[in-house]
A = this chain, B = another copy of it.
Amino acid sequence: MRQAGRYLPAYQAVRAKVDFQELYKTPALAAEVTAQPVEILSFDAAILFSDILVIPEAMGMKLEFSEGKGPRFPQPLRGADDIGRLHHPKIEVELDFVLEAIRLTRQRLAGAVPLIGFCGSPWTLATYMVEGGGSKEFANIKSLMFGQPQLLHSLLENVTAALVDYLNAQIRAGVHAVQIFDSWGYVLAPDDYEEFSLRYTSRLIAGLKRNGVPVIYFLRGRGCGLKKLAASGADVLSLDWTIDLAEARQQIEDRVALQGNLDPIALLATPEVARAQTKKILAKMVGASGHIFNLGHGILPNTPVENVQAVISAVKE
């Protein structure tokens, strides 16, 4: 899961000197915190330290970060004029700091473990852009969907086109795998998920010049039927803990691997609890092919490091 380092003292030491935005926009620092979990805790892979909102920002939206409140777009998209003002980003120019962070991380890791790049899904980015930030009801994006579906489709098309260029640039810069985060698809009805989220994520995947780079598709909740998700073109479905992995394995073909899906809250108590809950997930996949153990969502900043170590030991055993 992204930003895996925020529970680490070594990460907090870097963050004490720079704010979140400066951290991911400074390639040397981004590379440093990307490598930390691998160097300190021996994870099997590194995931780039960055933020999904660099794309809306590169498309012309002003982005603000404030401590404790998360990122916000102070001028969210609310109509055709706002959406028409967005431009197609020049990735190699406007987002070179991401590509440079990839190059520096590859140098630092020196082939020890693979590096995973990522982006937000078209639906998740459109949701941020229309809501302006997190939301309880998602009333703005859904009202756009119910009331002006064609306008939302045009926004999703533009975001998808930007993301195709962005992930292709990440692949050229050297990531070994890419993960697409559909963090907010779970708020949709299955039919709407297919039309407004899955369709564009599938198009994004189809637009990649992969050269063997696998694609991981993360989603919360179920979105729609697992067979349809497995037909997205992704090599791996990354699921949260609300889906039973053994049941998911039965429903979809073996071509698609599964990633997940321990509840991050299971890491807040003791090493023994973290270990037992990890073993419970692993037991579901005994004899099944293609399982990448992971949390079902981002790790919490107040997670004790010894509990993370207990999870890693349990998996490696």
Contact = CB atoms under 8 A, between A and B. Distances in A.
A247 B190 contact: yes
B137 A266 contact: no
A138 B242 CA distance: 14
Given A188-B242, A191-B244, A242-B188, A268 B139 contact: yes
Contact of A225 (B137, B247, B280): B247
A220 to B, nearest CB: 10
Interface stretch (A57-65, A204-212, A269-277): A269-277
A189 interface: yes
Interface in A183-208: 186-191
Interface residues of A, number: 33
Contacts of A263: 142, 189
Interface in A109-145: 137-139, 142-143
A287 interface: no
Given A221-B221, A242-B222, A269 B188 contact: no
Given A139-B268, A186-B242, A222-B222, 14 more contacts: A137-B265, A137-B300, A146-B273, A146-B277, A147-B270, A187-B242, A190-B242, A190-B244, A190-B247, A191-B280, A221-B222, A221-B242, A224-B244, A225-B247
Interface of A: 137-139, 142-143, 146-147, 186-191, 221-222, 224-225, 241-244, 247, 261, 263, 265-266, 268-270, 273, 277, 280, 300
User: Which 9 residue pairs are nearest across A and B when measured between Cβ atoms?
Assistant: A147-B269, A142-B265, A189-B241, A190-B244, A146-B273, A146-B266, A143-B268, A146-B269, A139-B265
